[in-house]
């Protein structure tokens, strides 16, 4: 698959550049080593504070802080000092994986796998020439904190919101081992992809990461 070759090169390059979330690298390598499927954009789950010029203006948004682990209260409070313009939100988002399957049958298996692994928002995003499955969980939190540089909540509320957001992040990340186990079973069923191992060797991936 030409598309998978391009996706693998993009992934391996991003890994070398430190642009891939470290706590899901092993899982991404596993998924991409399976015959007939590959990942596109993925995230291990994150929490942070974001500034949005207006509701829905995502392209113009600015993260004041964004981490892929629980955030400390003091980190959040310090980040708020940099708020300038627009609506201020605390956001907590679960892990998300976009996976392309070369046929509908594999896509159905991915959909079932995601749901069975506890990712209840798993859906088909596109079904046309390519079959894209989004493996996603339910733990989303968006809490308004202020506007135009003014923080309209006190420390007690901020500490509470950060705590809830961190709990949701940890809960969703806790499903990753289960998801990995599911993909290991799928690999036994579908087989491994020779292209993955060829390109991994070509890019020296095995020198810094353990190949599945």
DSSP reduced 3-state for 17: coil
According to the model, what pLDDT value does residue 57 have?
A: 66
**Residues of the chain above pLDDT 70, percent:** 98
Per DSSP, the three-state class of 143 is: strand
Residue 181 lies in a domain: yes
The model carries a pTM of 0.92
Model pLDDT for residues 175-188, shown as the tens digit of each residue: 999 999 999 999 99
Segment 100-117 mean pLDDT: 95
The whole-angstrom separation of Cα 74 and Cα 78 is 6
Owning domain of residue 173: 2-207
Mean pLDDT in residue range 5-26: 94
Residue 40 lies in a domain: yes
Residue 141: its H or E element: strand 141-147
165 is a domain residue: yes
Q: Is residue 62 part of a domain?
A: yes
| Alpha-carbon distances, residue 27 vs 8, 19, 160, 182 (angstroms) | 14, 15, 32, 11
Q: How far apart are CA 12 and CA 196, in angstroms?
A: 10
The answer to whether residue 41 is domain-embedded is yes
SS3 122: coil
CATH at residue 188: 3.30.1960.10
Question: Across all residues in the chain, what is the average pLDDT?
Answer: 94
**Could you tell me which of 102, 122, 94 has the C-alpha nearest to residue 38?**
102
In a domain, 212, yes or no: no
- DSSP annotation of 192: B
The 10s digit of each residue's pLDDT in 130-174 is 899 999 999 999 999 999 999 999 999 999 999 999 999 999 999
Q: Total structural domains in the chain?
A: 1
CA-based nearest residue to 129, from 155, 150, 151, 107:
107
pLDDT at 130: 83
Task: Tell me how far apart the alpha carbons of residues 79 and 122 are, in angstroms, rounded to a whole number.
Answer: 32
Q: Is residue 112 assigned to a domain?
A: yes
Question: Model confidence over 32-75: pLDDT tens digits?
Answer: 999 999 999 899 999 999 999 887 767 789 999 999 999 999 99
């Amino acid at each position: 698959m030409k598309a998978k070759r391009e996706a693998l090169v993009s992934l391996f390059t991003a890994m070398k550049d430190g642009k891939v979330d470290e706590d899901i690298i092993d899982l991404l390598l596993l998924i991409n080593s399976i015959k007939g499927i590959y990942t596109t954009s993925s995230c291990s789950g994150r929490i942070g504070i974001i500034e949005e010029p207006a509701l829905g203006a995502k392209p113009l948004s600015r993260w004041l802080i964004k981490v892929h682990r629980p955030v400390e209260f003091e980190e959040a409070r310090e980040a708020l000092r940099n708020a300038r313009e627009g609506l201020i939100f605390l956001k907590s988002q679960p892990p998300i994986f976009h996976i392309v399957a070369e046929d509908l049958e594999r896509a159905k298996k991915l959909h079932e796998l995601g749901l069975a692994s506890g990712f209840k928002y798993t859906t088909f995003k596109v079904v046309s020439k390519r079959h894209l499955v989004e493996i996603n969980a339910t733990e989303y939190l968006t809490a308004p904190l202020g506007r135009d540089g003014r923080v309209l909540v006190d420390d007690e509320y901020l500490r509470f919101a950060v705590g809830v957001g961190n709990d949701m992040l940890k809960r969703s990340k806790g499903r990753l081992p289960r998801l990995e186990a599911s993909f290991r079973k799928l690999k036994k069923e579908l087989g491994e992809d020779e292209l993955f191992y060829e390109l991994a060797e070509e890019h020296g991936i095995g020198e810094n990461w353990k190949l599945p």
